[in-house]
Chains A and B, each alone.
Chain A
Amino acid sequence: MWFILILILFFLSFLETITTLPLVLIVLLYLAIIFKRPMLFALAFFSGLFLDLFLLRILGQSSLFFAIFLVIVLLYERKFEIKTLPFVFIASFLGALFYLLTYGNDYIFVQALVSSVIAVLLFQFVILRIKMSS
């Protein structure tokens, strides 16, 4: 299972060489909501490292951003129910917005909106699969 997740994150790191949409961030958010395991931080670290390597950023910059984002998401878990659509939407929107602002891109607001829609669709798809299997 974790091996597949690592492969997915590795593939998404490639994808970010052709699109500025923060796909790795979205998948990490989804994993944080569903699994809530410390292993996620290792995934965030390595996927961030690959991103920095491919996109010629300062090594560790993206890893730090992902780690902070995951900490914030998991902190909110104690106060709110995070397995909900509104939370996924707001968290992915704000996460993507700050990510895009940090790395200076075009169409920041639209991209953040598209990212949150992708995150919601992914979340909805997984919830549907879980319901169908049970």
Chain B
Amino acid sequence: MLALSILGKLIWPQSFLEKGVAFLPKTFFGFFQGLPLVSEGDRIKKLEEQNLALISSLVDQERLKKENAALLSQFQTQDVQTLSLLPSKIVGAPGFIPGITTPSNFILDKGTKDFVTVGDSVVVNNNLVGKVSKVSSHLSKVDIVTNPSVSFTARTISGTIGVVKGGGADKITLDNVLPSDNLKKNDLVLTKGDVDIDGVGIPADLVVGKIQSIEKVPTNIFQRAEVKSLINFTKQSIVFIVVGPK
């Protein structure tokens, strides 16, 4: 069975089985999220949402400034791409202590039948949640930005370029930053964008998080910073998959 699965010969039976049982984890996860110990207070939730919305508008303002400057100079016109988003429910978020420790991945209720492909990015508002790492016909697996398998180029809001790497257990680092570059605490870290010709990848200007601490050792080739995501991954129930033009 394992061999057949590796060779991709079990796609149809897997799809059939998934179709039959996919609603079960969805119901179970929904029930779990509704538990009084897990569900957060309305006020905190509202404040968190407001915070995310404010940061999104800050990034939008930054992008508009850039676009304006580019249009004015007539050298480059940055096309503000409207992202096509696919709302998706989280049906699984395995973490050590459910509802407390950050899960390393999410299982979503959308798959290849909804045109989700490996490499698609997943967002909440303007914040990056992670990257789709595996897709079946009815489900998809998203590696969260804190997952060690996630790595992509990013920039700070002041323009310093580096590579964001997931460190596992709620850690994100901005690495490979030149020592001559200026990193500031509380600066926002944004994605640089690596969308390929098929529209798959991480779009530019999504918020990864805020710089918490900077590690600059004179003998090291690069400096690095610890980044904290603005999203509370344990409290999410709906996320959006950025689907490219299919």
Contact = CB atoms under 8 A, between A and B. Distances in A.
B92 A17 contact: yes
B2 A14 contact: no
Interface stretch (A57-65, A81-89, A126-134): A57-65
Interface in A32-73: 50, 53-56, 58-61, 63-64
Nearest to A52: B5
Interface string A92-104: 0000000000001
Contacts of A104: 104, 148
B153 interface: no
Contacts of B37: none
A4 interface: no
Given A56-B140, A59-B5, A61-B2, A14 B25 contact: yes
Size class of B's contact patch? Answer: 35 or more
Size class of A's contact patch? Answer: 20 to 34
Interface in B95-148: 95-99, 101, 104, 107, 134, 136, 139-141, 148
A53 B21 contact: yes
| Most chain B beta-carbon contacts within 10 A, residue among A17, A104, A110, A111 | A17
Interface in A1-54: 14, 16-21, 50, 53-54
Given A17-B107, A18-B93, A53-B21, A106 B101 contact: yes
Interface stretch (B10-18, B47-55, B154-162): B10-18
B156 to A, nearest CB: 27
A105 B107 CA distance: 15
A80 interface: no
B96 A59 contact: no
A53 B28 contact: no
B131 to A, nearest CB: 14
B173 to A, nearest CB: 15
A59 B14 contact: yes
6 contacts: A14-B28, A17-B91, A19-B98, A58-B6, A60-B1, A60-B4
Interface of A: 14, 16-21, 50, 53-56, 58-61, 63-64, 104-107, 110-111
